[in-house]
Each structure stands twice: as structure tokens, then as C-alpha cells.
Amino acid sequence: MFSTVKLYIPFLKYLRKRIPLLILLFILILGSTVLLIITPLILEAFLKNIRMQFATGLLLPLALLFLLLAVARPILSLWEAYLGDNISLLATNELRVDLTLHCLALDLRFHTQHTPGELVERVDGQVATLNNLFSRLVLSLISNGVLLIGIIGMIAFTIHALVGLVLALFTIFSIVIVYMLHSKALPLWKEARKQRAEMISFTEERLSGLEDLTSSGAQSYVLRELASQSRAILRTFLRGFQAIMRTRNLLRMFFDLGTVVALLLGVLLFWGHAIPLERVYTLFYYTTLLQVPVEQIVEQWRSLQQGSGSIANIHELLAEKSTIHGGDRPLASEALEVAFERVSFQYIEDTYALQDLSFVLPAGKTLGLLGQTGSGKSTVARLLTRLYQPQSGTILLNGHPIQDYALADLRRAIGIITQEVHIFNATVRDNLTLFDDSISDDVIAQALEQLKLTDWLKRLPEGLDTVLSSREQALSAGEAQLLSLARLFLRDPQVIILDEASSRIDPATEQLLDQALKQLLQGRTAIIIAHRLQTVMQTDLILVLENGRCREFGEREALLQQPDSAFATMYRLAAGEVRQ
């Protein structure tokens, strides 16, 4: 029991800022509890007045008072619900922000191990469990406790201590029974939650591959899989629901029995002249009031326990730490020299993606990186931008290990265009500036002019305001690369890595790309991972990778002159292809 409570304690800090609201909420809950307890007393007084047939003038005020309380209670609970949800949404949204920032700060190793769908479920879905805790649970547990004690106390004092004792025992007994019955439903809820997380991650993954799935006619497979997963969830949910309903109905029967016992006791007391007739009614009323708090206490305690799985998951997520840390060496603002010194790296144990790789790329020079698919080209880019940490060897920037520089500085200094350029559902302007409002349209126009992309911009229906969202406006691979070149140009990094898309590009766009690239490379150190030989013909140096190892490294011109070099062979092959 304590371990469940302990899990929740760290999250209470999100409530600290909202203590005045919480106090108000507590007063409201207590107020409505008191109203509930005094209502039967008014009814009792009313009945007494009728029975004694004296002072009938009191009947009307009593009826009005009863009416007033009947109206006040729902108003109070409405206010309670509003306040409770308000507090909890504010608190859990703060936690969501913290979790999102935490996930974003984690390195790529973490992100390749966890699908976006899984993270969405954790950051959003599981935090929702806390919603309940923050809004009602704790206060409601207390108020139901107060209500139970209040009712039993009232019975003991106003009716008979013995009846109070009997009902107290009855209540404890029923709490234990309901708690035990609930245990049956709990594993089913857990299972359903797990299945749901799996389905979300399945859907997310399939949606991101929509184009491939549609073109290969795999929709029916996906739909079938989705249907079977949904069916499994439905089955588990239904079983859980049935278990809960069984408990609820059993509890109801149990309480009906309790009411009969209470009535019997009341009648006996009445016959023994211990209490007046209307008090028998009050006893009846109080006994029926007992059922709701018993049910709620068990359910709330259960949901605390049910939530503990989610909470443990959130703790686990928060405990994840990035293995990549930066230093505080200032980074020079001119072009930078990049060097790899015997760098080896494995994504998976015992499989080298890069092995013993060494090269020096002097400041302001460009390196063309070639190699077959899977040879480790993109990995070089990922290591240089510190998305991963090599297992051995050093990567140097201006002679100092890259770990010495602050991560933010490093990522500002190194601009990368990955193989899959991400186009955001936003205007061309936002896609170029990456939502940085401080970059004016003039600066954008200048950059596009320099990259000779003004004509391309003119072709867009609404210029910079064109929204890249609907399918018709989606960019071709070449256009996406153009956009990403302009994006980098605006950011003005000192080192550029271009991981060229392997898709074929039409000759007109190709020409635009080559021109833009020439502009972009001026005065910058650059690594160009090229699938088209034409692109590397602009570079100073060439590095050919083979299975993660350096096969060839040297000046482009010199390599081209050596007929037996790998680069010259590739060049001849490509030229031959063109001629055929």
C-alpha cells in the first residue's frame, strides 16, 4: 500500500503552485459532504411535524430548506468538478511539457529503441492517469472517508450506538469484499492498456509508410491486422467491464441486505420506544447513503493502483539519461577543420557500421563521401552531429574532440541535410526559417536570390505563403532538397553535411541544385554524401567507404588521374552508363 503511494509523491510538486485552489476545492468537497449529512435531519424534522400535528407552520420553511439544499448540492459538485479538472489539467500539462522536453533531449539511441507511437502513449496517455489523481482522487478519497465517518457517527449519536457499531462493521466488511472482487478486473485493465499502446504504435508506423503501403496494395493486410488488434482490445475490455459490473451489482445486493438489517434494527428500537418513528426513516436514509462512498473508496484506491503501472513507466522514462554530453569550449566562428581519428562505431553489438575510420578535412574544403548502400556514409554524418557516440576513436573539430564543445554550439555550427528532408505542414516561409520569426522576408529573398532559386519561388502559387500541406502541394524529392539547401543557407552553419537523396531528380532541378550547392559551399567545410557522381565533381577530396572502412581517401583530381583507383573506376562506370 505504501509503495503505491510512494510512486505518486514526486508528482505532487506539480500541485504546489496550486495550493490556494486546492484548499478551495477541499472546502467545496467538505461543504457538499456536510450538506449530504444534514439533509436527512431536515426530512426527519418534517416528518416529526406531520406526525405530531403541531406547529404545521414549520412545514413550509423546512420544505424550502430541503429544496435549497437539493439545489445547492449539484451546484457545489459542478463547481468541484470544474475546479478539480482545472487544477489537474494545468498540472498534468506541465508534466507533459517536462516529459516532452526530456524525450527531445535524449539521444538517438533511445529514439531508435522506442517508436514515436510508444512515446505518445507514454507522454500523453499515461499522464492522463495522473489527471484523475490530481483532479479528484486524493481529495475525494478523503471526502468519502469523512462522509462515511460522518454518517456512522450521526447514526451512533442520534439513533443508537449499537446500530452505529453494526453499520461500521458492515461497511468495513463490504469494503474488503469489494476490494477483493475488484482484484479480478485489474489484470484485464492492465492487459487492455498494453494492447492499446501496441495498437497506437502499429497505426503510427503504418501511417508513416502510407505511400509505400498504398502503392504495394498492402492496405488489406494493414486493415486486417488493425481489426484483429481492435478485436483483442475489445475482448479484454469487455471481460474487464463484466468483472466490474459483477462487483457493482454484488455490492448493490449486499447493501440492500444491509438496508433490511438496518430497518429491522430501527423497527426493533421503535417498538422498544428507544426512537421515534421518523428516526427509523433517517436510519433508512443514512444506510442507503453508505453505498456510494464505499464503492467510490474502493474504485479510487483501485485507480491509484491501476495508475501505478503508468506512473512507474513515467518514472522509468524520466530516469533515462542521455549518454551524450557537451563541454564548454568556445567554438571558432570561421570555417572549421574536421578530422576522424580511428573512429569505430556499432549500432548493434559486434556489427561495425564504421571501423577504424581516419581522415582529415581541412577548413573550407569539401569532401565527397561515396560508397555502396549500407557502407556507413550516413553514420559519419550522425557521429559528427553527435547523434551517437563512437565506441572508440576521436572526432576532432579544429583539433579538439567534439565532446569539448557545447552540444547546442556544435549543432548550430554543423548544418545537415538528411536523406529524408522533412517538410512541415506549414508555409514555405516557415519551412525555410524553421519557424524563426526573426528572419525577415527580405533576408529569405536574398538567400533565394543567391542560391538562384528566385524563379522556383515565383512558380509557387502564393510565394512564401504557399502552404505545403495538401498532396498537390507536396514537393518532389528535388524540390525538397532545394528547400533544405535554402534552409541551411539561412542558418549559415560553418560545416555542412549533405546526405543526398538517392531518388532520381529531373535535369532542370538537378541544375538548380548544383548551382545552389556551389553557392552554399563557398567558404564552408562540407561533407557531401552523394549518390550522383555529378555532385561530388564539385568537391576537393574524395573518401570511398566499404563496409564501414576507408577504401580510398585523397584529392579528387589526383584520384581521377589514377586509372586503377576506386573513384576513377566509378567515374568510368557512371560515364559509360550515361553514354549507353
Contact positions vs ligand ATP (CB under 6 A): 112, 347-348, 353, 371, 373-379, 419
The span from the CA of 228 to the CA of 234, in Å, is 10
**CB-neighbour burial class of residue 24 (10 A; exposed 0-12, middle 13-18, buried 19+):** middle
Cβ nearer to ligand ATP, comparing 220 with 373: 373
Shortest Å distance, C-beta 108 to ligand ATP: 7
Strands 392-397 and 400-401: antiparallel
Radius of gyration of the CA atoms of the chain, in A = 36
The span from the CA of 465 to the CA of 258, in Å, is 71
**Is residue 378 a contact point for Mg ion (CB under 5 A)?**
yes
Whether the CB-CB separation of 298 and 179 falls below 8 Å is answered with yes
263 CB neighbour count, 10 Å cutoff: 15
**Is residue 33 a contact point for Mg ion (CB under 5 A)?**
no
Shortest Å distance, C-beta 200 to Mg ion: 29
Stretch that binds Mg ion, among 143-151, 357-365, 371-379, 516-524 (CB under 5 A): 371-379
Site track for Mg ion across 327-366, x = CB under 5 A: ----------------------------------------
Out of Mg ion, ligand ATP, none, what residue 288 binds, judged by CB under 5 to 8 A for its kind, is: none
The span from the CA of 544 to the CA of 529, in Å, is 10
Shortest Å distance, C-beta 369 to Mg ion: 10
Crossing angle of helices 277-319 and 138-154, rounded to 10°: 160
Cβ nearer to ligand ATP, comparing 249 with 502: 502
Shortest Å distance, C-beta 232 to ligand ATP: 30
Whether the CB-CB separation of 357 and 369 falls below 8 Å is answered with no
Using alpha carbons, select from 51, 63, 279, 43 the residue that is nearest to residue 159. Answer: 279
Ranges of H-type helices in 53-160: 59-105, 108-113, 116-120, 126-132, 138-154
Site track for Mg ion across 77-116, x = CB under 5 A: ----------------------------------------
Helix (H) or strand (E) holding 541: strand 541-546
Shortest Å distance, C-beta 348 to ligand ATP: 5
CA dist list (Å): 196 to 121, 125, 129, 185, 199: 9, 10, 14, 17, 5
Cβ nearer to Mg ion, comparing 378 with 539: 378
Cβ nearer to Mg ion, comparing 7 with 353: 353
Cβ nearer to ligand ATP, comparing 366 with 375: 375
**Is residue 379 a contact point for Mg ion (CB under 5 A)?**
no
Shortest Å distance, C-beta 387 to ligand ATP: 10
Out of Mg ion, ligand ATP, none, what residue 374 binds, judged by CB under 5 to 8 A for its kind, is: ligand ATP
Helices (H) and strands (E) in the chain, counts: 21, 10
Shortest Å distance, C-beta 554 to ligand ATP: 19
Stretch that binds Mg ion, among 73-81, 250-258, 323-331, 373-381 (CB under 5 A): 373-381
Cβ nearer to ligand ATP, comparing 88 with 375: 375
Name the closest residue to Mg ion (Cβ).
378
Cβ nearer to ligand ATP, comparing 202 with 347: 347
Enter the C-alpha cell of residue 132: 484523475
Whether the CB-CB separation of 49 and 58 falls below 8 Å is answered with yes
Out of ligand ATP, Mg ion, none, what residue 373 binds, judged by CB under 5 to 8 A for its kind, is: ligand ATP
Shortest Å distance, C-beta 505 to ligand ATP: 16
The span from the CA of 331 to the CA of 403, in Å, is 12
Out of Mg ion, ligand ATP, none, what residue 379 binds, judged by CB under 5 to 8 A for its kind, is: ligand ATP
Cβ nearer to ligand ATP, comparing 290 with 544: 544
Type of residue found at 86: N
DSSP labels, 152-180:
HHHIIIII-HHHHHHHHHHHHHHHHHHHH
- Interface residues with Mg ion (CB under 5 A)? 378
